[in-house]
Amino acid sequence: MNILTILGSSRKDGNTEQLANQVTAGLPTTFLRLKESQILPIDDLRHEPGGFQKVDDDYAPYVEQLAHHEVIVFATPLYWYGMSGRMKNFVDRWSQSLRDPDRSLRDAVQGKPAVVVVTGGDAPGVKGLPLIQQFHWIFEFVGMNFLDYVIGTGNKPGEILQDKAALAKAQSINHLLHTLK
């Protein structure tokens, strides 16, 4: 089994990445750091005669990565009570990919297990729940299997390692992922 972890954080080795590492420990994992790429927003032209326009950025290889991995982990800090802007741009681009006759996003992710990892500093266990619900609806729409999620508390670098409940939940998800081998 191979895992693709999509990191929406703007920090390298930040709390979100540290918690995602706990979820995927000991498993073959590819990390795609959205901060190291350029994924541009698009105009919604799906109802226009020409449809969506081609965009010259780093998005297409990410969609291909979705197809080549068996489990997808979406890891994002809780920014203003939602996913990071980088993650949102990535997910928003799915509208374009769903209409691409050469590369169907739905085919790439159909039935694949998805895990969500969220960290934040302002009561994320409560205030992050609407984001978890949002991911649930996104996964349902594209036919992914929402396996589980973990929300951790961490603001300053390394604080996530003090959140024993989040670390225990990450370990539980890790055990679950090991059973999927």
Write down the pTM of the prediction: 0.94
Report the alpha-carbon distance of residue 62 to residue 34 in Å, rounded: 9
Instruction: Convert 46-104 into a string of H (helix), E (strand) and C (coil).
Output: CCCCCCCCCCCCCHHHHHHHHHHCCEEEEEEECECCECCHHHHHHHHCHHHHCCCCCCC
The pLDDT of residue 24: 98
The pLDDT of residue 101: 64
Query: Can you list the residues of the chain whose pLDDT is less than 70?
Result: 100-103
Are 4 and 69 spatial neighbours (Cβ–Cβ below 8 Å)?
A: yes
The residues with which 118 forms a beta bridge, in sequence order, are 76, 151
Are 111 and 146 spatial neighbours (Cβ–Cβ below 8 Å)?
A: no
The pLDDT of residue 78: 96
